Structure 1
Amino acid sequence: MTPPDRASLRTGHPLSNRILQDFSADTTPVQRGGAPLRFGVNYTPTRGWFHHWLDFDIDQVSRDLDSIAELGADHIRAFALWPVFQPNRSLIRPQALADLAAVVDAAAERGLDVSVDGLQGHLSSFDYVPAWAQTWHQQNLFTSELVIEGQSAYLEAIASTLAGRPNFLGMSIGNEFSQFASPLHPNRSELTVAQADTWISTMLAACAAGAPGLEHHHSEYDMCWFGGEHSFTPALAARRGHSTTIHSWIFNGTSKLYGGMSEQSLRLAEYLIELGRGWSTDPNRPIWLQEIGAPAPHVSAEDAPAFLEGSLKYALDTENLWGVTWWSSHDVDTALADFPSLEYSLGLIGNDRTIKPQGHAFAKVAAEVRTAPAPARRSTALVLEVGDETLAPGRATCEPGGAFFEAWMSLAMDGARPSVILASQAGDASFLAARGITTVLTTREVSAGSAI
């Protein structure tokens, strides 16, 4: 990736000199195994947000897709709304499936591939659960046989509807659906780690039954990596599905502790990617940075282009990265009520379809990264100790401010380009060789200042 125009970075920002120096140095290239890095956006419709499925208008969608294509994106992540598509357990609406197929076809006309999330589930602070699984019909969303039957049929129906389209990449089960299992959720569906594993495997099998041979995923949010009591564990995130999906949001405490334009915030996606790699048992498993954005007020509108370029510079310096999908394509219409304030301005494109400064920054990076060679392998690894590696009860050490987070960031800011390995892998010479790791460090060594 070539250095960005210096005018696009704020010269008055405390980190501007560091960022400019980093970009001016030789940067690590990003083409993976001959396959160009994928660069896309999470599609947020301008008219009606995801409620647009209720009064679907392909002309409006097509205009949205035109503006996305202007950015140089090569794919979108599209979201169905579960209650709209399956309002009754035995009714998967043919018209909703046809509307989704129309989106995929319109994307193909503009050179855009599409990955589809089925169980929404949860989007932008709102939950969407059909009536047949709640209130008087209250069911556990992960363990009820009736719900599992309905979910499986629904995901298979979407996948089979789209399976013949060459620009259909595959499915994600749903957007951060595991948040329904969080101890913090007001209407929690409790389950064990073993039950979470069974549910993920069942849902992925339904996707594969509908669209064999395509790339099917499940997506997780921070609680998976940081919450010791959460049933959806890092091991499940990094070992189930086609690739490990990463959702990087600095409002997880990073910006509060360190600042929105701090090195810690700029490196959060890189850190989460390496954390996900550390939990994988496959040295070559693909990783998809499925969500990353510049949320206000954690990042100001003025700083958003620099945040995009700075955070992606670090994220792109990682191995086995399939691609980046920025959140989001378009701003949410301010006429819609009750969203958290940050949700309205996350788009690369305004709600009027005008490309914003951070959209221009995205287009610039997109044009530069696809033909660059692969980054150098990371030969230094920090050992992660969390107790039982199936349950990961000690994973809070990985959250912003935690001992492992602090140690990894310290190494990164000293130029070590650290990766992550589990304690069980630290003595496995063949695994370390497969990863290209020659230096293994502990958090105690880093904290003592004896690491480098």
Structure 2
Amino acid sequence: MLLSRPIRFGANYVPSAGWFHSWLDPSPDTYRRDFEDLAGIGLDHVRVFPVWPWIQPNRALIRRRGVDDVLALIDVAAEFGLSVAVDLLQGHLSSFDFLPSWVLTWHRRSVFTDRDVRDGIAAYADTLTRAVASRDNVFAVTLGNEVNNLHPANPTTPQESRSWAAELIDVVRAAAPGLLALHSLYDATWYDPGHPFHPADNVDLGDLTTVHSWVFNGVSEIDGPLGPATVTHADYLVELAAATALDPARPVWLQEIGVPLPDVPGADAAEFVRRTLGAVTANPALWGVTWWCSHDLDRSLADYPEREYDLGLFTVDHRPKPAAKELEAVIGEVRRAAGTGRATGTGRIAGTGRIAGTGRIAGAGRAAGGRRALRCPVDLRTQPERRAEVAPGGPFHTEWVRLRQAGPLAVVAGDRADDAPHLRTRGIDVVVTQE
């Protein structure tokens, strides 16, 4: 099944000056220079990260100035034809966690289970969502960046974490029924059998599934920076998500992907971009790709892991890096193959359905049919305790990578291998089993 909207291409916005601390001293001129960089290579959207404690420093206080600063950034993005996705709770950004003081020290209480805290978060989510929904170039609100990173300091159970996320999704939908409401998690959700955020949460909650692909999770150690396991990891995550969803047409947003040092040396960055995007843009489930991140981190700032400083598409003085140049080239090729120009729509929801368009396109290798699939012995929906069996380097992943080298390869969960409508919707003609 093909849908009409083109693949979206964007960047997770890290300001070139001041990192996310720039929210304390916002500069529209910096935004303009940064967004000029991004629009110049053909990107159509940015994902932005207001820092929660700086807008809601007290459970009963939401700073109007902080909200207005977010709107000002969104308005500058519009000047460059960029649509915007807004994250609410910054669980984890470049190795730093962000929590307000009213859940710390002698106030310590869980963001997931304490009723007063949950009510405070809901008020924040409602206020900020209603504000950003007033801007036509906003298309999505995500609960937060990798909120499952908050789990170690805020112990929770699968039932509690799901209830927390479902409640906030409802808040966002009520505040802005025309926007995509999303739940964002990093890949422990897919691979860690003990993690309290489950794959089913990611594919059931919100309007599409998001995945974050980072090859420093051990994938690059399997076969090197340009090996088949490394450059197909993003495609593998998209397939796990598509295989886990009850709705076989549910889109998947590759919401984070980057070129981390030293896992991918600088000399291999451009080729990593080309091979990775060549694999994942052929996937008919793909909604969009959002690169991490827009700009490098200034080395005058201290205490970040070394790899965080060099993840940008652009340097802090606005020079495009090899990854940016290759990304620009790939975007052009994908759009020419699809017969589309730059995606300028907002992605807002129209009519009675939740999704106005999934971002799928014909062409560019995104086949509607004729795909092979590898049958997965694990149903991640119902067997999250078996997640380690699909982790990179395991027998299933190894077989998938081997077969993937011959062309696009889907993943299908056990009992769905005989579900003809499911297979037909996903364009799967042949299902093979693991040797």
TM-score (norm: length of structure 2): 0.91
TM-superposed deviation, 1:346: 0.6
How large is the RMSD of aligned CA atoms in angstroms?
Answer: 1.6
2:316 corresponding residue in structure 1: 351
Alignment match, 1:381: 373
Count of residues paired in the alignment: 408
Amino acid at match of 2:265: S
Q: 1:90 to 1:378 in 2, by over 3 A?
A: farther
2:430 to 439, 442, 446: 439
- Which of 4, 20, 44 pairs up with 1:50? 20
From 159, 163, 181, the counterpart of 1:194? 159
Which of the numbers 382, 398, 402 marks the counterpart of 1:406? 398
* Residue 72 in structure 1 maps to residue 37 in structure 2: no
TM alignment of 1:330-341, pairs within 5 A: 330-341=295-306
Quote the offset at 1:83 in angstroms. 1.0
Relative to 1, partners in 2 of residues 1:364 and 1:387: Cα closer, same or farther, differing over 3 Å?
closer
1:306 equivalent in structure 2: 271
Q: Report the residue type matching 1:133 in the other structure.
A: V
- Corresponding letter in the other structure for 1:48: G
**Deviation readout 1:149-207 (Å, 9 max, x if unpaired):** 111111111110011211001201000011222xxx3x2x2222222221111111111
Q: Which residue of 2 aligns with 1:37?
A: 7
Secondary structure at 2:203 match in 1 = helix
- How far apart are the structure 1 equivalents of 2:125 and 2:61? 13
Deviation of residue 388 (structure 1)?
A: 7.5
Query: Is the contact made by 1:38 and 1:370 (CA closer than 8 Å) also made in structure 2?
Result: no
Q: 2:410 matched to which residue of 1?
A: 419
Distance 2:132 2:188 in 1: 31
**1:146 is matched with which residue?**
116
Task: Please name the residue that 1:278 is paired with.
Answer: 243
Q: Does the 8 A contact of 1:193 with 1:391 survive in 2? A: no
Query: What's the CA shift for 1:403?
Result: 1.6
Q: 1:107 aligns with which of 77, 84, 109?
A: 77
- Deviation readout 1:86-140 (Å, 9 max, x if unpaired): 1111111111110000010000011000001110121111101000011211111
Partner of 1:3: none
Give the gaps of 5 or more residues in structure 2.
339-361
Deviation at 1:380?
1.9
Give a deviation string over 1:6-28, Cα, whole Å, max 9, x none: xxxxxxxxxxxxxxxxxxxxxxx
Q: Which residue of 2 aligns with 1:85?
A: 55
Residue pair 1:114, 1:169 contacting (<8 A) in 2 also: yes
Q: Does 2:227 match 1:262?
A: yes
CA deviations 1:350-398 (Å, max 9, x no partner) are 0111111221111111222124134113632222233673351011011
1:246–1:287 CA contact under 8 A, matched in 2: yes
Q: 77-86 or 64-73, which moves further after superposition?
A: 64-73
Find the aligned partners of 2:291 and 2:245 in 1 and give their Cα distance.
24
Stretches of structure 1 that go unaligned for 5 or more consecutive residues are 1-30, 447-452
Superposition pairs for residues 146-185 of structure 1, below 5 Å?
Answer: 146-181=116-151, 185=152
1:252 Cα shift? 0.4
> Contact between 1:293 and 1:346, CA under 8 Å: does it hold in 2?
yes
Q: Is the 8 A contact 1:89 1:150 kept in 2?
A: yes
Secondary structure of the corresponding residue to residue 9 of structure 2: strand
Q: How do 1:318-333 and structure 2 match up within 5 A?
A: 318-333=283-298
3-state secondary structure, aligned to 1:122:
coil
* Contact 1:82–1:121, Cα closer than 8 Å, also in 2: no
SS where residue 10 of structure 2 aligns?
A: strand
Q: Percent identity?
A: 41
Name the amino acid aligned to 2:300: A
1:361 match? 326
How far has the Cα of 1:408 moved from its partner?
Answer: 0.9
Which residue does the alignment assign to 1:97? Answer: 67
SS at structure 2 position matched to 1:290: strand
| SS of residue in 2 equivalent to 1:383 | strand
Write the distance in 2 (CA, Å) between the matches of 1:437 and 1:363.
31
Q: TM-score, normalised by structure 1?
A: 0.87
In structure 1, the residue matched to 2:206 is 241
Taking the aligned partners of 1:410 and 1:213, their CA distance within structure 2 comes to: 42
CA contact (8 A) 2:58 2:102 kept: yes
Counterpart-to-counterpart distance in 2, 1:321 and 1:425: 20
**Distance in 2 (alpha carbons) for counterparts of 1:292 and 1:174:** 17
AA in 2 matched with 1:216: A
Partner in structure 1 of residue 359 of structure 2:
none
What is the DSSP-based 3-state SS (H/G/I as helix, E as strand, rest coil) of the residue aligned with 2:328? helix
CA distance in 2: counterparts of 1:73 and 1:32, whole angstroms: 22
Q: Secondary structure at the match of 1:370?
A: helix
